[in-house]
Each structure stands twice: as C-alpha cells, then as structure tokens.
Chains A and B, each alone.
Chain A
C-alpha cells in the first residue's frame, strides 16, 4: 500500500530528526514526571484513595504531555519551508497526517512506558498485575488524542498564540476519549477486568477509527489555504 510506505518513510525521518535533536521527548518525559510530583503535593494520596484517583491523575498527566508534543509536532518542518517541500512532493497528504499522528503516539507511548511504572512506585500501589492491560487502554486513548490533536495542530499552525489555542480547541472535543479511558482504567484497577466498562472500550475504538478516517480524508484541506 503506497500510503503505508509513504507514512513509514515520513515517520522514519521524523524519528531520526527527534533522535538528533531530542527536544520533544526530553521535555515531555520530564514534564510527565514533574506532574507526578505535583500531584503528590496537591492531593492527600492515602494508599486506599490513590488507586481510585490513579486513572484520573495518570490520564491528566498524559493529556498535558501530549499537548506539549502536539505544539512541537510541525517544528521540524518550520526551517527552510520544509512543509512546502512535503506538500509539493507526490505523497498523499493523508500519509503526512498518519506519520505525524504515529510520531506523537510513539512519543507519548515512550513517556507512558516510564511514567506509569514510576507512578506505581511513587504511590506504592498494591499490585502490578493490571499494568499491561492499563497500558493497552492508555495506548488506545493516545491514538484518539493524537488523531484529533494532529488535525487541530495543523489547523492552528498559523494562528497567533497557537500554544494556548490548541488545548482550548482540543480538550472539549476530547471528552469522549477522556471519559472512556478513565472508566476503562477504573474497571481494570478495581475488578481486574473490564466487565461493564466494555461499552466504553467500544466507544473509544469507535472514536479512534472515525477520526482516523476523517483525518486522512480531510487533511488535504487542512494544509491547503
């Protein structure tokens, strides 16, 4: 599939650039870890309450680190009008969208790989057993966040105060992902399995699929004046 080949090509370039400059990854990682400490100071986290609050706190941290990543998403293209270079090339604009979305998902995934265990350690949660399943749910939440986030990052690229505008425009639209991810994580933490949170999972997957297709179709209009 040509779309896939082009997406992987662009993704490889973005990852290589990130490896060279590693601006986004470092800032996102430290910001995530920093938020954990801030949570510790701002909430009275007795072990009993922490497992109840964990989903909300974790997801709040990932939401903000993700937004940080989104605002840096097109920085690599800023120098030498490289965005025009990509738009001029024979690639499908949907591939550009997919590559940028996957890039931010990879960044957020790496941050979560470190921050979640750190959360378990810092707040001494009882069992490590639900962690892999939790990570899968958070990954699905990432996909939803990055899909919509990439579209809106491109839309607000040329706006003034775009770092402020992006979260303002993005967060209200993220309500389904936020609610669904937190409900699923709560069910996993409390009962060890999804159970009655299954409809939330379907909603989350539905959200990801819908806006992935919408993104691929609409991205051509996003980057064109």
Chain B
C-alpha cells in the first residue's frame, strides 16, 4: 500500500468516522425520542448493538488472517490477525460494560447470566487467551502459527458455544420481554432505527480506521526487527 495514498485515504476515513460519530451522538442522545418500554436507557443500545457486531467482525478477521497466514506464511496476514484481535478485545470488553450498565436499571442487577452477556464474556476470554498465547511464545514465527491455530479453532467453536449458551439460557431464565434479543423490531419508532443505523456506520468506520493505524504500527515493528536483524 504505497505510503502517500495510504495516508490520504486514512485521512478521508478519519474525517468520515468523525462526522458519523458526531451524528450518531447527536441522533442517539438528543434527536431520538426515549423508547416506549425502557425509556432513556434504551439509548445505550445505540452503543451496545454496534459493538457486539464489531466484536464478531474482529473475530472473523482474526480467522481470515489466521487461515491466510497458515496457507501463505506472509507476515501481512499474521499482522492483520494480531491487529484485529487487539481491537476486538477492546470492543468486546466495552460490549460487556455497556450490557451490564444497560441491565442495571432494567433488571436491577449489574450482571445477569443473560445469554448474550455470557456469550460476550466467553468471547472476551478467548480473545485474552489468544493475546496471552502470542505474548508467551518467544520465538516469533512459532508465536504466529500457534496464534493462527488458536484463531481458527476459536472461530470454529463460536457457533457451538452460541448454541449451548442459548439452550442453557432458555432452560433457566424465564424469557422476559425486556431482553435485548426479544425487542419487537417491527413497531420500533423510525427515529430510533435511524439513530441505530448511524451509530452502526460510525462504529464500523471507527473500527477500520483504528485497524488501519494498528496495521501500520505492526508493519513498523516488523521493519524495526528487520533493520535490527541486518
């Protein structure tokens, strides 16, 4: 990626991200009316749902990077997996925090073993395991291939974890209408949907903006190692 256009493209991405973030904040906090059921705490949903999707998106990128690295052994793919995992951990952790803050007024408790919160917590643990593995294996290329294996295994396990947690949840907790995944989407006020859409775009743009910087940082670390080697 030639340096010059890279910088210019990042600039545009950065500007677009900023615009959407501000629009998202304005729409989410001010313009959209409070939700019929949950009142204002529903505004946290504008953060919660985008970050969950970002968490899954970054796990998918880790999977893609890992497969490509095992196949072609190029540092670029390993760098993608590592960058996606690092930012993925941040968004997964934020998702959990948002979820528990959203839960506080609605269920009166900071943490409930709600299917989605539990799932995000497990995702966070897998991410942390992934980053720990990378940190604890000294030899550079062995760390990359070990992390790639874990990235693939972890991704393949997600559907099974998803199924088992949801089955486990339906067993114990009586389904309450206020659960996020039970929200009746049809008769949602259009303003709310636009707020959600704008925030979603803002988060995706932000994610790729941060990812591009983190990738560049990864490349620089490689460059430094190469220089030291010579």
Contact = CB atoms under 8 A, between A and B. Distances in A.
User: A and B bound?
Assistant: yes
Given A160-B138, A165-B132, A169-B132, A218 B160 contact: no
Contacts of B133: 155-156, 159, 165, 169
Given A161-B136, A175-B161, A168 B129 contact: yes
Contacts of A224: 145
Contacts of A15: none
Given A158-B142, A169-B150, A172-B125, A179 B136 contact: no
A192 interface: no
A221 B145 contact: yes
A19 interface: no
Contacts, number: 97
Given A155-B150, A200-B167, A173 B139 contact: no
A176 B145 contact: no
A225 interface: yes
Interface string A200-214: 100100110011001
Interface in A132-168: 148, 151-152, 155-156, 158-162, 165, 168
Q: Which of A155, A158, A218 has the most CB of B within 10 A?
A: A155
Interface stretch (B151-159, B194-202, B205-213): B151-159
Interface string B33-57: 0000000000000000000000000
Given A151-B153, A200-B167, A221-B145, A176 B137 contact: no
A206 B125 contact: no
At the interface, is chain B mostly helix, strand, loop or mixed?
helix
A214 B164 contact: no
Given A152-B150, A169-B150, A173-B154, A203 B164 contact: yes
B153 A179 contact: no
A34 B136 CA distance: 31
Contacts of A214: 152-153, 156
A63 interface: no
Interface residues on A, range: 20 to 34
Nearest to A214: B156
Contacts of B156: 210-211, 214
Given A148-B153, A159-B133, A222-B149, A175 B141 contact: no
A155 B149 contact: yes
A180 interface: yes
Contacts of B106: none
A199 interface: yes
A176 B164 contact: yes
Interface in B105-160: 122, 125-126, 128-130, 132-133, 136-139, 141-142, 145-146, 148-150, 152-154, 156-157, 160
Contact of A169 (B129, B160, B167): B129
Given A155-B146, A183-B168, 8 more contacts: A158-B139, A159-B137, A169-B133, A206-B160, A214-B153, A218-B152, A222-B149, A225-B142
13 contacts: A156-B137, A165-B132, A165-B136, A173-B153, A175-B161, A176-B161, A179-B164, A179-B165, A179-B167, A180-B164, A183-B168, A207-B160, A218-B149
Interface of B: 70, 122, 125-126, 128-130, 132-133, 136-139, 141-142, 145-146, 148-150, 152-154, 156-157, 160-161, 163-165, 167-168, 171
- Of all A-B residue pairs in the complex, the 4 with the closest CB atoms, nearest first, are A172-B125, A169-B129, A176-B164, A176-B160
